[in-house]
Amino acid sequence: METMKEQQTANDGLTTEEKILAAAGKVFTRKGMAGARMQDIANEAGINKALLHYYFRSKEKLFDAIFEKTFQQFVPLMHLEFDSTDDFRQMLRNMVRLYVMMVKKSPYLPSFLLNEMHQNPDKIQHLLLKMNVSEFPKRLQIRFSEAGITGDPRQLLLTLISGVIFPFAAKPLLMPLFFGNNEKIFDRFIEDRSVFLEDLMLRMLVNREEDDINLDSDNSNFNNNAL
């Protein structure tokens, strides 16, 4: 029998703190900060409510921990992913696949993040400073320039990300409107959408250079991204 110093592992192999974080993540992402109840989180974690305040001082502190963790799970993906692959097209493909996978696993995430971002825009400022993403727009521009893309890379990136995330964020509407409340049909649609979006990206990249339709080539306002 070994002695455990820092944290003792509970019955199911999880620290109490870990159990709290898992439960809080579940409840907060579903109900949001305002809709979540501390008692619900305690029940979900199978512990006493006072323990929540013992580990995290207040509801807001606990929420902040969850929000930060969830936020970082989302945003820096592009951050990391943009350096990993040499082939530009393959990189875009990977991004689509990665985001589809992520959102598929936890469908509440997008609307949770979007909503809480609006509720506390100040916290985002702070989070973006902690993760060092201030260089991201510059790197994004360089990456696109090297690939010979002339247009505003933000337009393309936003189209890509929104294209993946939005169907999940709007699922409760799309489900009865387009998919007859059939989960399998929805899943198949998402499968098709991955291909659709990859193809969409390729079309844009290929055509953009040789085409006469000019989209504000001198995008002079791209450098104003101070923090």
Does 3 interact with DNA (rule: CB under 7 A)?
yes
4 binds DNA, rule: CB under 7 A: yes
183 binds, among its own copies, DNA, none (CB under 5 to 8 A by kind): none
Candidates 5-13, 61-69, 96-104, 171-179; binding stretch for its own copies (CB under 8 A): 171-179
3-class state of residue 215 by DSSP: coil
Instruction: Mark the segment that binds its own copies (CB under 8 A) among 16-24, 57-65, 89-97, 176-184.
Output: 176-184
Residue 51 interacting entry, from DNA, its own copies, none, C-beta within 5 to 8 Å by type: DNA
Q: Which of 22, 38, 128, 204 is close enough to bind DNA by CB under 7 A? A: 38
Q: Does 43 bind DNA (CB under 7 A)?
A: no
> Are the C-beta atoms of residues 209 and 150 closer than 8 Å to each other?
yes
C-alpha–C-alpha distance, residues 83 and 143, integer Å: 9
Q: What residue has token string 């409340």?
A: 181
Question: Are the C-beta atoms of residues 138 and 226 closer than 8 Å to each other?
Answer: no
Q: Which is nearer to its own copies, 65 or 111 (CB)?
A: 111
d(CA 137, CA 225): 7
State the burial class of residue 45 (Cβ atoms within 10 Å of its Cβ: 0-12, 13-18, 19+).
Answer: buried
Which residues lie near DNA (CB under 7 A)?
A: 3-5, 7-8, 10, 16, 36-39, 47-51, 53-54, 57-60
